[in-house]
Amino acid sequence: MVVVMVVVVVVAAAEVVVVVVVVVVVKVLVVVVVVVVVVVVVVAVVVKVLVVVVVVVVVVVVVVVVVEVEVVVVVVVVVVVVVVVVEVVVVVVVVVVVVVVVVAIVVVVVVVVVVVALLALLLLLLLMLIKQLISGNPVWLYF
């Protein structure tokens, strides 16, 4: 009987530990998400600045070296296309990173909820077993 009570206490303590661990893990994952998003945004800004610098240098070189209008128009079109592509890639990378982190958080929370539910079910079954033992009814009636 003492063994059964010890098992019940251990299972209840395990549930509390699992809930605390889940809360800590979710908080850490949220901090990771914020850090990743900040890093991605900083990198995106740096890339944008570099693209603008390259574009300005290319346009200045083309205008200084080649005065032909057709070449300047082609260079400006190419620069605009490059800037747009860089913008789209940066946005896609940010969205993918955020989605992956959010999915990871959801998976962790779902797994923890399932584990806590299974532990609660186990605790309920143990309590039912104790009730049967205390009442003197045969335990095998539950199985």
pLDDT tens for 20-42 read: 877 787 778 777 777 877 787 77
Between CA 93 and CA 95 the distance in angstroms is 5
In which residue are the tokens 């299972």 written?
Answer: 11
Mean pLDDT of the chain, nearest integer: 75
Any idea what the Cα angle at residue 107 is, between residues 104 and 110, rounded to 5°? 150
This prediction has a pTM of 0.51
